[in-house]
Amino acid sequence: MINFYEDDIKLTDIDLKDETYLFSFEPRITEIIHSIQEIGLINPPILVKKPDGFNYIIISGLKRVLALMHLKTQWVRARIIDQQRFVPALSLFRLGILENLGTRQFNVVEKSIIIRKLHDQFGLKDQEIIEGYFDLLNLGNNQRVLQTYLQINKLEDNIKIAIHDDLISPEMGYHLTKLDPDDRNSFFQFILQLKLGKNRQKEFIKLLDDISKRDQIKMARIIEDDSIRSILSREDLGVGLKLPMIRQILRRKRYPILTNLEERFSTIRKKLRLPPKIQIRPPENFEGDTYHIELNFKNQQEFAEQVRVLNSIADSQTLNELDELADAL
Amino acid sequence: MPYKLFTPDHIYITSDAIDYPVTKQILSTFHNVKYTCVDDENSIDRSYTVLLLTKQRADFYKNCPGTKKYICCGYQILNLINNCEIGCTYCILQGYLDEPYITVFVNIDDLFQELSVLFNGDKNRYFRIGTGELADSLSTDHFTGYARMLVEFFSDKRNAMLELKTKTTQIDNILNIRHGGRTVVSWSLNTPRMIASEESNAPTLDERLLAAKRCQDAGYRIGLHFDPMIYYPNWEAEYKEVIDRVFEFLEPGHIIWISLGALRYPPYLEDIIRERHPNSKITYGELVTGIDNKMRYVKTIRIEMFRKMYQWLKKKDPNLFIYCCMEHSDVWKRSFGWTPGNSLTLKNMMDELIQ
């Protein structure tokens, strides 16, 4: 049990540089300023006296303190931890978490700061963090999640903000920590420029990562290659057009033989001059040996017409070219 | 790195395996190694290089888990040992088996009884059986001695044969024994470059071929498995050199079969390979999802590789029996110019080779 007493504390006696117990990310205080202006401070911040005996450290209530400072207030009614009985630092940190949880959810970056502090600052083992804190943070009980959140905190602030704003997923954030800073920044800018959604981010990072490792070149160099730069810089093209063009460039680099097959198949399909209501599809990944034809018709007449078209290509040399596709590299 | 025989740091024995002669023999071989009796496998400290001696509680004999979507040779397998210490980068066991240690099932008499019942129960059926599915057939033979027992057991069987598949040179136990022509000793082969990068704890190509030659000289028929073939720059010249090298050691007439298989693995293995073997580049090949949901090279690559291998091998001896492991009929046809059409035909063809 932790005991408190209430006291009026001078705001200048609060040491804002000491972040031992803090985990807020991007504190936005506009709303709380309005709230204090209208109804005053309802919930006092929790502070603990520093060992020097004069100043205080915030356990919980950073935004409230910042809002009061913004309002040029000089004193704050605060709850002070009674240290007549020793309270371990970890218990104070947990108190801050619990106190905040009473009023709000934590964002991804805050969770990562909490986990990083538990691990580095308070020396907790992985399993202790999972068992003692994952429920509180709504993170399940997975070791891999722990690693993800431990790493996210190492990212640059602009990437953390993107995670916070849900532009990129925590998993992608974790993946980005494995890249060197140049590659990370380059791919992050690439995501922003192409407005890549989360699934596309996964697809592109895999393509780039594979090419980079296979050819032993930096990811940034692939992204900054002329073939990609020239598309990214075109002002006459929207993102919707740039994206498939760049995707195809990367697929060609990653899967030269497969994309060559796809392009040859596409040429054959065009030569067959099938009407839009007849679709021809190759075996998936050109793996099997069976092509599929799909007919779309509304009545017997349309059906008969499509059968006539199919009959007309049955003997064509072009159709035979499909059979040769698998043969030559 | 020269090939090093497996030696455990610690032996665990489950309580039901203590009294078996094989357990006693293994403990005597490794008399300097600490051992612990455990009730179950959960008590094993996995930080050691562990050898687990236990009892096979399921059947030893199983059908090879080939998919029906590709042509399979109809092989059957014996699970006598689980896992392998060689640690090839592409090894399926990394994802297939949970435990990071080698398990030896010590109740071998139960195995022989199970096989006798099986063989006697269906005398019209032919059994082509291997032990190299969940382990290397010979890499633990210096302390189990199982190969010798198996070879002698199969030596008088009229409707069964044994294939020992290995990458090792551990053949001394089987050289001077009665085999009756019922055992094929097979080697998995690759190019020296791939052996160095992907099979770095295994014997070199020449060491394997020399061991194969010694088995050939002991009257065994030899099987060769170019599996997994890896597609990389200069693969053609290097695989062709391997073929040339093979016939400097072996007589074509003693080679009963040669299989060709290209790199393939279940998708989940990709992350495992990349994490455990960061220097390996095999997962960066042009692998796509096949109709069995495994990652495989694009079909044109496989056809190109198999076609060339087939031509080079047939040039050495047109009578060599060459088959594809787990491939589509279309790939057979385009690579070899013929196809068995289905798994049963291939099985029958291979059974006839040995009978």
B263-288 pLDDT per residue, tens: 999 999 999 999 999 999 999 999 99
Structural domain contains residue A10: yes
Contacts of B296 in chain A (CB under 8 A): 287
**Last residue within a domain, chosen from A254, A275, A310:** A254
- Between residues A317 and B167, which one has the greater pLDDT? B167
Nearest CB partner across the interface for A329, out of B288, B291, B304? B304
Nearest CB partner across the interface for A286, out of B299, B304, B329? B299
Q: State how far residue A49 is from chain B, nearest Cα, in angstroms.
A: 46
Q: d(Cα B308, Cα B336) in Å, to the nearest integer?
A: 9
Closest-CA residue of A relative to B289 is A285
Contacts of B304 in chain A (CB under 8 A): 329
Q: How many CB pairs under 8 A join A and B?
A: 54
In the predicted model, is pLDDT for residue A207 greater than 70? Answer: yes
Using the Cβ of B330 and the Cβ atoms of chain A, whether some distance falls under 8 Å is answered with yes
Structural domain contains residue A96: no
Paired tokens of B134? 């969940």
Q: Write the pLDDT tens digit of every residue in A254-266.
A: 999 999 999 999 9
Structural domain contains residue A205: yes
Is residue A45 within 8 Å of residue A76, measured between CB atoms?
Answer: yes
> Is residue A215 domain-shared with residue A284, that is, in the same domain?
no
Structural domain contains residue A98: no
Task: For residues B148-167, give the mean pLDDT.
Answer: 96
Paired tokens of A294? 């799909």
> Is residue A109 domain-shared with residue A184, that is, in the same domain?
no
> Strand, coil or helix: what is A114?
helix
Using the Cβ of B307 and the Cβ atoms of chain A, whether some distance falls under 8 Å is answered with no
Contacts of B329 in chain A (CB under 8 A): 289
In the predicted model, is pLDDT for residue A53 greater than 80? Answer: no
For residue B169, the tally of other CB atoms under 10 A from its CB is 21
Q: Topology of B138-354 in CATH? A: pyruvate-formate lyase- activating enzyme (3.80.30)
Q: Write the pLDDT tens digit of every residue in B304-355.
A: 999 999 999 999 999 999 999 999 999 999 999 999 999 999 999 999 888 7
Q: d(Cα B171, Cα B239) in Å, to the nearest integer?
A: 25
Paired tokens of A281? 């599809």
Contacts of B298 in chain A (CB under 8 A): 255, 257-258, 261, 285-286
Contacts of A284 in chain B (CB under 8 A): 289, 291
Is residue A56 within 8 Å of residue A49, measured between CB atoms?
Answer: yes
Q: d(Cα B270, Cα B277) in Å, to the nearest integer?
A: 10
**Last residue within a domain, chosen from A254, A277, A311:** A254
B281 and A257 within 8 Å at the Cβ level: the answer is no
> Is residue A40 domain-shared with residue A72, that is, in the same domain?
yes
Query: What is the identity of the amino acid at B332?
Result: W
What part of B 200-239 touches A (C-beta under 8 Å)?
A: none
Show me where the domains of chain B are located.
138-354
Question: Which alpha helices (DSSP H) does chain B contain, by range?
Answer: 21-29, 93-96, 108-121, 141-144, 146-154, 172-175, 192-198, 205-217, 235-249, 269-276, 299-316, 329-336, 343-354
Q: What is the ipTM of this complex?
A: 0.89
Q: Write the pLDDT tens digit of every residue in A97-125.
A: 999 998 888 989 999 999 999 999 999 99
Structural domain contains residue A95: no
Which of A175, A178, A255, A257 best tests the B interface by mutation, with the highest count of B CBs <10 A? A257
Domain containing A199 equals: 179-254
Is residue B100 within 8 Å of residue B46, measured between CB atoms?
Answer: yes
The top-scoring range by mean pLDDT among A17-21, B58-62, B162-166 is B162-166
pLDDT bucket at A329, cuts 50 / 70 / 90: low
> Strand, coil or helix: what is A5?
strand
**Last residue within a domain, chosen from A254, A274, A294:** A254
> Is residue A186 domain-shared with residue A155, that is, in the same domain?
no
Structural domain contains residue A211: yes
Nearest CB partner across the interface for B303, out of A214, A255, A326? A326
Number of structural domains (chain A) is: 4
Contacts of A289 in chain B (CB under 8 A): 328-330
